[in-house]
Amino acid sequence: MTIFKIDRLGSKGDGIGRSGEAMMFVNKVIAGEVIELVHGKLKRIVEASPERQSAFCQYYDTCGGCKFQHWQHEPYAEWKRNLVVEALRSQGIDSEVSPLVDAHGAGRRRVSLHVRQIEGAWVAGFMEAKSHDLVAIDMCPVLVPQLAHAPALAASFGPSLGNCDVMITVADNGLDVAIKAERQAANKHIAQFRVIMENYKIMRLALNDEVVAQLTTPTIAIGPAHLQLPVNSFLQATAAGEDELVRLAKTHLSRAKKILDLFCGVGPFTFRLAEIGKVHGIDLDKNAVASLLQATRFVQGLKPITAVARDLFDNPLVPEELNEYDSVIFDPPRAGAETQAKNLAKSKVKRIVSVACDVQSFARDAAILVKGGYKLGQVTPVDQFKYSAHVEIVGSFTRR
């Protein structure tokens, strides 16, 4: 048994305190609380923070999916905002950061569940925090209503495929399911899969990136476009989050004439920005680019849209290519876009919008642009991963 006080929260949301000479990291606590650990796990809150509240999920105490249901919204939101402030400050940038924007909306529209066998039954859920132990769940309250039966859906593949991970995405015309599994599906399983698909309105089922059954192609509306989703395609976690990121981008680029959309994916920014000016999208994912281009053939009333597949990590655009555009938006993966940012810093592009899902990579890329002569303007943190330590950021840069 160990009793000690939580001094602060780390950048990943863990409470940090000292027990003797040892530094302790504890999940789901609040700074200032006195807690008791038994065998390294939280046993009880000895002295609770006045900011503590009851979690609304029955699995919260053990499930590793959420971190902050126990924390009141106002201090939680300020903590997330400060993650951005401190990351920028660590790079020597003292910028005004707007209050956190709540973009949870109706909930998350996609989920990845682990499927395992426990005591002879196939179940689905999330891993316990800092553990490989599965917490089986019947439902997840942070998901959109269309995913209310997601755990049961995922678990139904266990008997055929064994241990697997099931990604479920809500499309406009049903569900899109992509499974990662070591076991291959025998032909006899296809009939079983079709029964599952009919029961849960699954439009397409992919196993290890290959489509094994399909009723029709899953589609999703992106602005005025109706796009066919590639297998395992990237989407923002919530529809409200995507809308807020787009709103901010359009505000910053309202006077743009010729826009470059880097890491464009299936076009969450591309189609909306084409209401303002011409847009050229670039992404490594060839299937995403192909779907984007196909959708442009059936959209009217937009400025011209073009797109190509290109690896912006190994083959970033050079300043001469960038200078063809008056505005650039880039929304890279979690690692950021360091090499591309260095070339942007050498360009003559008038305005740049950076969208990021990691505060450290955002701050690093921002410092590169500022050093290259850009001024960082409005920075807005967006909370579409509510109850987690993740935060989206949108920052606007103008050439001095």
- The answer to whether residues 359 and 388 touch, using CB atoms and an 8 Å cutoff, is no
Which residue's entry shows tokens 């209310």? 148
What pLDDT sits at residue 44? 92
What pLDDT sits at residue 163? 94
Residue 389's Cβ-side half-sphere holds a number of Cα atoms within 13 Å equal to: 15
Tens digit of each residue's pLDDT (9 = 90 or more) over 150-185? 999 999 999 999 999 999 999 999 999 999 998 776
In DSSP terms, which residues pair with 222 in a beta bridge?
Answer: 225
For residues 135 and 156, what is the distance between their CA atoms, to the nearest angstrom? 17
Q: What is the DSSP string of 374-398?
A: EEEEEEEEEESSTTSS--EEEEEEE
- The answer to whether residues 30 and 71 touch, using CB atoms and an 8 Å cutoff, is yes
What's the burial of 281, exposed, middle or buried (CB within 10 Å: 0-12/13-18/19+)? Answer: buried
Tell me the three-class secondary structure of 276-342, residue by residue.
Answer: CCEEEEEECCHHHHHHHHHHHCCCCCCCCEEEEECCCCCCCCCHHHHCCCCEEEECCCCCCCHHHHH
Catalytic-role residue among 63, 140, 164, 357? 357
- The answer to whether residues 265 and 233 touch, using CB atoms and an 8 Å cutoff, is yes
Tens digit of each residue's pLDDT (9 = 90 or more) over 120-138? 999 999 999 888 899 999 9
Q: What is the end-to-end Cα distance of the chain in Å, rounded? A: 58
Per DSSP bridges, beta strands 327-330 and 258-262 are parallel
Fold category of 2-52 in CATH = OB fold (Dihydrolipoamide Acetyltransferase, E2P) (2.40.50)
For residue 98, what is the DSSP state? P
Tens digit of each residue's pLDDT (9 = 90 or more) over 320-347? 999 999 999 999 999 999 999 999 999 9
User: Is 357 marked active-site?
Assistant: yes
In DSSP terms, which residues pair with 5 in a beta bridge?
Answer: 34
- The answer to whether residues 269 and 251 touch, using CB atoms and an 8 Å cutoff, is no
Q: What is the pTM of this model?
A: 0.95
In DSSP terms, which residues pair with 327 in a beta bridge?
Answer: 259, 351
Share of the chain above pLDDT 70, in %: 99
- The answer to whether residues 299 and 224 touch, using CB atoms and an 8 Å cutoff, is yes
Tens digit of each residue's pLDDT (9 = 90 or more) over 99-112? 999 999 999 999 99
Strand, coil or helix: 248? helix
| Domain residue ranges of the chain, discontinuous segments joined by + | 2-52, 76-104+236-399, 110-219
The CATH number corresponding to 76-104+236-399 among 3.40.50.300, 3.40.50.150, 3.40.50.720, 1.20.1050.10 equals: 3.40.50.150
Q: Give the residue-averaged pLDDT of 21-37.
A: 93
Please state, as a whole number, how many other Cβ atoms lie within 10 Å of the Cβ of residue 362.
26
Q: Give the residue-averaged pLDDT of 291-315.
A: 97
In DSSP terms, which residues pair with 14 in a beta bridge?
Answer: none
What's the mean per-residue pLDDT of the chain?
95
* 110-219 has the same fold as 76-104+236-399: no
Fold category of 110-219 in CATH = OB fold (Dihydrolipoamide Acetyltransferase, E2P) (2.40.50)
Pull the structure tokens for residue 150.
């997601």
For residues 109 and 268, what is the distance between their CA atoms, to the nearest angstrom? 15
